[in-house]
Amino acid sequence: MSPRRILVTSALPYANGHIHIGHLVEYLQTDIWVRFQKLRGHRCVYVCADDTHGTAVMISAEKEGISEEDLIARMHEAHVRDFSGFQIEFDNYGSTHSQENRQLCAEVWAALRRAGLVVEKEVTQLYDPEKKTFLADRYVKGTCPFCKLPNQYGDSCDNGHTYSPTDLIDPVSTLSGARPELRSWPHLFVRIEKLHDFLQQWTQQGGHLQPEVANYLAGHFLGEPLRDWDISRPAPYFGFEIPDSPGNYWYVWFDAPIGYMASTLQWCKRVGEDFDRWWRDDGTEIHHFIGKDITYFHCLFWPAMLKTAGFNLPTKIHIHGFLTVDGQKMSKSKGTFVRASTYLEYLDPAYLRYYYASKLPPRVDDIDLNLDEFVAKVNADLVGNVVNLASRTARFAHTTGLSPRYPEDGGLFERAARDGEAIAEAYEKCDYNRAIRLILEASDRANQFIEQAAPWNLKKDRAKHDQLRDVCTVGLNLFRQVAIYLAPVLPRMAEQTGQLLNQPICRWDESKTPLVGKPVNRFQHMITRVRAEQVQAMIQASREPEEAERPAAAQAWDDGDEPLRAEPLAPTISFDEFVKVDLRVARVIAAEDVPEARKLLKLTLSLGGSSRRTVLAGIKGVYRPEQLVGRLVICAANLAPRKMKFGTSEGMILASGSGDEEIYLLYPDKGAKPGQRVH
């Protein structure tokens, strides 16, 4: 099999928000595919970038009182940190706000002009006279013209009616609260209908798209003339000004996909590669991984732009569905809208890499993160099956080493080696669900062999030393095959396997040749069991009110004085008296019931490093132990230990309320760290 030259991209994350577990479906799917191709010996380069332009970035920067450049630089750093935390490895991670992207946008634009595909039309839109800007659909609210539902966005209402923002009754700008005016401005359009025949052929032939995607495009768009594409926005707009149309800027959806090429160009400059070899050479495969919500742009506009400008067309566009959590849309109020950074505070990234892989099909199906199944699957498949295979044999092989020749195993190694091609075919087709099933079947067979051979019994008989070594040699080689096949999904476990057996995993075909005659290092834990309390702590930490639940800034508050009357303010103290109390941020690392006590829970608090406190807190009945593990609390850390009937309490956690059922723990804001002093 001759090596392939493959360029891979994921959709560019927008610079207006953080990476969350829904985004990670795509980036993990892509990273697994790229790692698989590299393991097969192919030249595979993975590029991506932040999508930085548009009105939303402008508005966010203005609200924060910083420049757009400062906002996107800060978000770029956060995105790179999150991706790295999940072991997602890009060959280049750039930005659409780069000189390379400006250069390539101008090149594509010039080609569209030369082809006669650009036309100018007057567009009438709602205009905010206070902010002096035209309003995108999401920046207008009003009453639906059909069902009269109030407070609806400018493109559709909650009852499913679609309309133009100019059709709204009593529209209001969400940027200033002003009543918008109708104004006209010349926009530039790309007439992709001229490429209808090409797009018909490209989408329906050649296997560039999944069959359901090709059918969707044929049924919804290609059966009639394609609409002209509005490609410009008037100033003010954060983006690139169009060179031959002063005062107009390329719409974000024009320069975003060109960002794939710009990121490639940055990589080429850094490593000394020829850009044309990757984007103008038929010997290069280009694979895009995207979500189904941006199918239209990537399967119609993008091929039209590439064709016109003389660049390589995508070999394949891999489209995936959305993520639900426990069968429902991700929710901030329920805590299921989990940021990547929050996940990493509580759980091993290997868990999510494996769970998503076990669910991902080759089709455009949504996948569900069922939290109970997540815990059960990780513990049963990874810990109880795969890692258990290594731990049951490596502890004996550390003293025996591997046999000088591979022992008889009833054909297990040979069968798993043959399975490698079926597993590879599944990875290639993005059928990760099938790949994982085949890998687990091989691991099951290996565990059955170990169970029957019982090396723990052989260890007891000195006369059976050679037999013990043979059993461990078989078991560890079967485990190594599984680790190779799982390496695209679990790269850290592959590294640990290489360290254990003194032979790094570098190539897929290593699964066909057993290791013999090598020493075995002492077994180190690879993947630990996930606890339901960890998952619940992550969900709890992710909870925040939905936008609709947040009080309006101008709301008048009437809090009443009942708490003050029930418990009047204490006498005034001096500042010096106050600072004697050392209040610290602490993390609850363990929580348990005190069965004999009516109100007490026993909490173990971490103040950072090895500093621990045991605190008895009278919060039973209001908080369950599993709700608290992982949470940050405020602790009075310098109280003298207090001996109580049920043990010694070494501090106090802070709460408000009158007691009994009215107890409200005080939690520090996100970003606080254990050990920080509360001033």
CA–CA distance, 525 with 505 (Å, rounded to integer): 18
Q: Is the pLDDT of residue 564 over 60?
A: no
Model confidence band, residue 576 (pLDDT cutoffs 50, 70, 90): low
pLDDT of residue 574: 66
- At the second CATH level, the architecture of 118-190 is Beta Complex (2.170)
Tell me the CATH number for domain 562-665. 2.40.50.140
Distances in Å between the Cα of 457 and the Cα atoms of 463, 476, 535, 577 are 12, 17, 38, 67
Beta-strand runs (E) in 106-180: 118-128, 133-134, 140-143, 152-153, 169-173
Q: Express each pLDDT in 594-653 by its tens digit.
A: 888 878 889 998 888 778 889 988 888 778 787 788 888 999 988 888 888 778 889 889
pLDDT of residue 513: 97
Work out whether the CA dihedral 50, 53, 59, 65 comes out positive or negative. Answer: positive
Look up tokens 């085949």; give the residue.
438
Q: Is the pLDDT of residue 555 over 70?
A: no
Q: Is the pLDDT of residue 204 over 90?
A: yes
Would you call 182 exposed, middle or buried from its count of C-beta atoms within 10 A (0-12, 13-18, 19+)? exposed
Phi, psi of 72, rounded to the nearest 5 degrees: -70, -30
Contacts with 293 (C-beta within 8 Å, 6 or more apart), sequence order: 322
For residue 385, give both structure tokens.
Answer: 């099956």
Phi, psi of 324, rounded to the nearest 5 degrees: -115, 160
Contacts with 563 (C-beta within 8 Å, 6 or more apart), sequence order: 658
CA–CA distance, 603 with 614 (Å, rounded to integer): 6
Looking at the chain, how many residues does it have? 679
Q: Chain-wide mean pLDDT for the chain?
A: 92
Q: Mean per-residue pLDDT for 176-199?
A: 95
pLDDT of residue 561: 56
Q: What percent of the chain is modeled with pLDDT above 70?
A: 95
Output 1 or 59, whichever has higher pLDDT: 59
pLDDT of residue 562: 57
Q: Mean per-residue pLDDT for 69-93?
A: 98
Model confidence band, residue 451 (pLDDT cutoffs 50, 70, 90): very high
CA–CA distance, 276 with 311 (Å, rounded to integer): 9
Eight-state DSSP code of residue 387: I
Contacts with 276 (C-beta within 8 Å, 6 or more apart), sequence order: none
Q: Express each pLDDT in 262-271 by its tens digit.
A: 999 999 999 9
Q: Mean per-residue pLDDT for 546-560?
A: 45
Q: Is the pLDDT of residue 563 over 90?
A: no
Q: Is the pLDDT of residue 504 over 50?
A: yes
Contacts with 645 (C-beta within 8 Å, 6 or more apart), sequence order: 597
pLDDT of residue 514: 97
CA–CA distance, 245 with 85 (Å, rounded to integer): 43
**Domain ranges for the chain:** 5-112+208-320, 118-190, 363-512, 562-665
pLDDT of residue 284: 98
Residue in 152, 151, 154 with CA at minimum distance from that of residue 163? 154
CA–CA distance, 434 with 422 (Å, rounded to integer): 9
For residue 67, give both structure tokens.
Answer: 């420049």
pLDDT of residue 328: 94
The CATH class given to the 363-512 domain equals mainly alpha
In Å, the largest CA–CA distance within the chain is 93
Most confident of 141-145, 415-419, 566-570: 415-419
Output 48 or 63, whichever has higher pLDDT: 48
Q: Express each pLDDT in 393-446 by its tens digit.
A: 999 999 899 999 999 999 999 999 999 999 999 999 999 999 999 999 999 999
CATH pick for 5-112+208-320 out of 3.30.2320.80, 3.40.50.1100, 2.60.120.10, 3.40.50.620: 3.40.50.620
Q: State the Cα angle at 286 between 280 and 291, rounded to 5°.
A: 140
Model confidence band, residue 549 (pLDDT cutoffs 50, 70, 90): very low
Work out whether the CA dihedral 540, 546, 549, 553 comes out positive or negative. Answer: positive
Facing residues of 677 across strands?
Answer: 584
Residue in 309, 340, 310 with CA at minimum distance from that of residue 323? 340
